[in-house]
Amino acid sequence: MSDIGDWFKNIPFITRYWFAGSIAVPLIGKLGLISPIYLVLWPEAFFHKFQIWRPISATLYFPVGPGTGFLYLVNLYFLYQYSSRLETGAFDGRTADYMFMLLFNWICIVVSSLSCTHCTLLMIPLIMSVLYVWAQLNRDTIVSFWFGTRFKACYLPWVILGFNYIIGGSVVNELIGNLVGHLYFFLMFKYPMDLGGRSFLSTPQFLYQMFPNRRGGVSGFGVPPSRRPLPQEQAGGGGGGRHNWGQGFRLGDD
């Protein structure tokens, strides 16, 4: 038990509580302490009955049973792996920025799901959005998947989309997660840093007050691309060239 406790304490801060909530809420629903009917996202109940907790509970809840248990465990593994890698890699020491990424992705997923009558569970879309961002920041890293297949990390979200569909998932949920992850990556990194556009996203000050930035730390799972020099900067002698998208680690590496 002490080993499990030590392992849990070593999980990065945000990932730790997200991971714990994603175990506790499905367990509460499985034990019948709270009826699962109150944990999923129903637009009618949210808008007309003012059950405002549903977007949060639907993000943490997943109906665990004989037909869904494996899908749940696989995505719980993805949550732990890729959220940890982002939080200790590109967002190392920047807990507020990582929290903002999760909040932005979550809000986009909630808005998308409220317009879809079949999108009542938000766990997989949020996990996929985080996995997508990690894959883009480590796009040239060679990853290994089932049966020894190897490919670049940029293809990983789409491979997992197909994999989840095969084992019982919904393409809609995975697709929403990938699209939201792409939206965040484009607005936060690609457009302002690579294309020289304005920055549309910035972390609110209250998050920095709640989660002050920490200096130092060791990153190893990819870094955000550096900003591309504008034409006038290049004319003045600024350096150009391709971005360092991060080296990352192979799947399964320590």
Query: How far is the C-alpha of 34 from the C-alpha of 51, rounded, in Å?
Result: 14
Query: How far is the C-alpha of 21 from the C-alpha of 26, rounded, in Å?
Result: 8
String of b and e for 171-201 (b: at least 16 CB within 10 Å)? ebbbbbbbbbbbbbbbebbbbbbeeeeeeeb
Token reading at 232: 């006038």
Token reading at 254: 């320590």
**Position 131 in a domain:** yes
Find the mean pLDDT for residues 151-180: 88
pLDDT in the model for residue 56: 96
**Position 242 in a domain:** no
Query: How far is the C-alpha of 83 from the C-alpha of 91, rounded, in Å?
Result: 10
pLDDT in the model for residue 80: 96
Query: How far is the C-alpha of 193 from the C-alpha of 58, rounded, in Å?
Result: 34
**Position 18 in a domain:** no
Answer whether 130's CB lies under 8 Å from 174's CB. no
pLDDT in the model for residue 130: 97
Residue 152: beta bridge partners? 142
The domain of 123 spans: 64-210
Query: How far is the C-alpha of 52 from the C-alpha of 116, rounded, in Å?
Result: 17
**Position 123 in a domain:** yes
**Position 201 in a domain:** yes
Listed residue (150, 156, 126) closest to 138, CA to CA: 156
Banded model confidence at residue 136, pLDDT cuts 50, 70, 90: very high
Query: How far is the C-alpha of 71 from the C-alpha of 62, rounded, in Å?
Result: 10
Give me the residue label for tokens 């494996």.
70
Task: Give me the number of domains the chain comprises.
Answer: 1
pLDDT in the model for residue 108: 96
**Position 51 in a domain:** no
Give me the residue label for tokens 């995975």.
174
Find the mean pLDDT for residues 56-73: 92
**Position 96 in a domain:** yes
Kindly report the average pLDDT of the chain as a whole number. Answer: 83
Answer whether 93's CB lies under 8 Å from 73's CB. no
- Residue 218 in this model has a pLDDT that exceeds 90: no
- Residue 141's identity, in one-letter code, is T
DSSP string, 201-234: ----HHHHHHS---------S--PPPPPPPHHHH
**Position 121 in a domain:** yes
Find the mean pLDDT for residues 161-167: 85
For 98-113, the pLDDT digits (tens) are 999 999 999 999 999 9
Query: How far is the C-alpha of 34 from the C-alpha of 135, rounded, in Å?
Result: 36
Answer whether 131's CB lies under 8 Å from 78's CB. yes
